[in-house]
Amino acid sequence: MAESNSLPPAESGERRQSIAGVMGPEKFRQYMLETARRHEAAVARKALMALVAADEETPDFVRLVTRDFSDGPWGFAIVRGTAYEDDDVWKDFRRAFTDRLELAFTEQLEAAGVKEAKDNFTIQWIEDPSLQDADVETVARKYGGTHGSLPHGLAHMFCLSVTRQSLDSVMRPSTKHYAKIPFVQVVGCVGVDAEWDLDFKQFAEVEGQPYPARFKVAVDSLLSKLFSLVGDRGDDSIAVDEISGYVKEDETWTDDTSEVLIKVFP
């Protein structure tokens, strides 16, 4: 369509008539509507990117979403690895989990791009009773099997996993006697690309790290830090395998520990 718009009016009209003759009236009408929709979306995206670039209050993860994923849904794929015996508990967890994530948007809703990012934010829940108390490799391969069917903005080389421990951490709020940080588990993807799998398996063996990569991440850091670092599809991205080497098994990765990573991988 861009070529057609660059032609003189007479030639442009002739080309449209030619296309309409091949496609038929109804298909041509749909084609023109879709072309106009895409053009309007591109114009709106360019304008939004300019606003985001100029607003110092816009969070880093929203800048990333605006740049790479503004044309559709984005977010996380999360594997349910627990509570299959009690759907009410699971529903309560999902409600508490999503409410906590919402704070990353609502606290900065006036900043440029935040509302648009919030509107497109999506969680793809992956559920299968056979995943009850599944080990990390089973979770990784389950996600790997669904990776190709996910929208671009959710098809990362990692997923999130909910274990019984992480469910309890979200459902039991901290008190002065109980300071557990609400967390979920990050799991490196396995089974999407054999060469990629081999590279990171060898990397894990050399570094003495578990494979697939895994570490706990605070729910409050999922958007503010994790997505900004690991969701990046550009040269500034960091693989979960690199992060896992800095997080001990009994530790939870938070905004504070992410600052150390930024210094290690400038």
At 54 the pLDDT is 54
Contact 80, 164 (CB under 8 A): no
**Between residues 153 and 255, which one has the greater pLDDT?**
153
At 77 the pLDDT is 97
Amino acid residing at 17? Q
Q: Percent of the chain at pLDDT above 90?
A: 39
At 63 the pLDDT is 87
At 202 the pLDDT is 81
Residue 62 CB coordination number (10 Å): 27
At 2 the pLDDT is 39
At 187 the pLDDT is 95
Average pLDDT over residues 182-191: 91
Q: What one-character DSSP code corresponds to residue 163?
A: -
Tell me the pTM: 0.77
At 6 the pLDDT is 43
pLDDT above 80 (res 122): yes
Query: Using 50, 70 and 90 to split pLDDT, how confident is the model at 260?
Result: very low
Q: Calculate the dihedral angle through the C-alpha atoms of 220, 224, 230, 232, rounding to the nearest 10 degrees.
A: 150
Contact 186, 214 (CB under 8 A): yes
pLDDT digits (tens, 9 = 90+) for 22-75: 777 777 777 777 776 665 656 556 554 665 565 678 888 888 898 888 889 999
Query: Using 50, 70 and 90 to split pLDDT, how confident is the model at 3?
Result: very low
Q: Of 17-21, 80-84, 119-123, 219-223, where does mean pLDDT reach its minimum? A: 17-21
- CA angle 47/53/56 to nearest 5° reads 135
194 - beta bridge partners?
none
